């Protein structure tokens, strides 16, 4: 197995750092699937996928070399603490010129980062970080594959994340649960209930991509944990081109974020039984 890559683009390094930082706030353990065309970060909870992020290697890396387990199974699966990788990438905020990342073996497998920092002197400075990883054996690969995306009852564009974040942060102080609903007319509703009132915010005329409901006035709804939903709002830092909200009545939502063709993120939230 071999893996080596290099980033030099400032925007690519910033986005990569932001992605790892957000994942580190969600979980203490994540997987990294390395393939010839992309890197995929996976976060699971209770045996179900919570986050699946696909990064195009052609956009993020100026150099990219990998050899998987075999020619037929040309992939590598790693498991590690994303907070350690996030701390290592912190040096990129100090006007880094480039970062090399490679799979090494230093008493144990590691992702080794070589970060070249800008310097006033002729010679540049280098930071070296080793992030311990576990190489996931092939027998466990099926547990870390891309999640199956079910048929949803409705798929609708979300309003801008900054708008939604501002509203939901206030609602979070009222309730631990959020009712999220949408209908065939492009109506998108955020609602919380308290002992004394029901508070809701409506967004209208949003793009509806698909809907199984025949009645135009009938809403598709799901009740979710509001704090977990707030965590998704952090992805606004990558300035997505758009976010789709896919709802499965009373079961789950899937938030799909994309940035051009080089970043795709699926975020899954199960329904709360009420």
* Residue 133 C-beta-side C-alpha neighbours within 13 Å: 25
CA distance 10 to 60: 10
Coil, helix or strand for 163?
Answer: helix
What burial class does residue 135 get, using C-beta atoms within 10 Å of its C-beta: 0-12 exposed, 13-18 middle, 19+ buried? middle
Which residues in 18-51 are b (16+ Cβ under 10 Å) and which e?
Answer: bbbbbbbebbeebbbbbeeebbbbbbbeeeebbb
Helical H runs in the chain?
Answer: 10-26, 57-60, 82-89, 161-171, 226-232
Q: Give me the pLDDT at residue 46, please.
A: 64
Closest among 59, 38, 41 to 50, alpha carbons compared? 41
CA angle 84, 20, 158 (to 5 degrees): 150
Distance of CA 145 to the CA centre of its chain: 15
Q: Which residues pair with 155 in a beta bridge?
A: 210, 246
Give the other-Cβ count within 10 Å of 209's Cβ.
13
CA distance 155 to 214: 14
Q: What does pTM read for this prediction?
A: 0.90
CA distance 203 to 212: 20
* Residue 138 C-beta-side C-alpha neighbours within 13 Å: 8
Closest among 88, 86, 112 to 100, alpha carbons compared? 112
Q: Give me the pLDDT at residue 120, please.
A: 66
Q: Give me the pLDDT at residue 271, please.
A: 92
Q: Give me the pLDDT at residue 274, please.
A: 57
Q: Give me the pLDDT at residue 4, please.
A: 96
CA distance 202 to 167: 11
Q: Is 265 left (phi over 0), alpha (psi -120 to 50) or beta?
A: beta
Q: Give me the pLDDT at residue 94, please.
A: 64
Residues (pLDDT < 50) of the chain are none
Q: In Å, what is the CA distance from 116 to each residue of 90, 101, 122? A: 13, 12, 13
Q: Give me the pLDDT at residue 218, please.
A: 85
């Amino acid at each position: 197995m071999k893996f080596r890559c290099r980033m030099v683009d400032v925007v690519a390094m910033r986005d990569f750092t932001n992605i790892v930082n957000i994942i580190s706030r969600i979980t203490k353990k994540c997987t990294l699937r390395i393939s010839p065309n992309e890197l995929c970060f996976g976060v699971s909870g209770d045996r179900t996928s919570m986050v699946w992020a696909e990064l195009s290697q052609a956009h993020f890396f100026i150099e990219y070399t990998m050899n998987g387990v075999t020619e037929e199974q040309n992939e590598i699966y790693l498991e590690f603490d994303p907070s350690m990788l996030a701390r290592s990438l912190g040096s990129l905020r100090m006007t880094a010129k480039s970062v090399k990342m490679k799979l090494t073996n230093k008493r144990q497998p590691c992702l080794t980062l070589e970060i070249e920092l800008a310097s006033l002197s002729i010679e540049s400075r280098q930071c070296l970080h080793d992030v311990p990883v576990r190489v996931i054996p092939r027998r466990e690969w099926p547990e870390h594959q891309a999640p199956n995306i079910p048929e949803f009852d409705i798929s609708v564009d979300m309003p801008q994340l900054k708008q939604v974040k501002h509203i939901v942060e206030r609602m979070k102080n009222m309730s631990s649960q959020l009712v999220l609903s949408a209908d065939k007319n492009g109506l998108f509703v955020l609602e919380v209930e308290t002992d004394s009132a029901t508070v809701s915010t409506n967004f209208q005329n949003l793009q509806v991509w698909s809907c199984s409901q025949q009645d135009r006035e009938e809403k598709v709804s799901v009740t979710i944990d509001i704090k977990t939903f707030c965590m998704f709002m952090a992805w606004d830092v990558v300035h997505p081109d758009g976010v789709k909200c896919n709802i499965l009545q009373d079961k789950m939502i899937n938030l799909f974020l994309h940035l051009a063709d080089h970043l795709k993120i699926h975020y899954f939230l199960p329904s709360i039984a009420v």
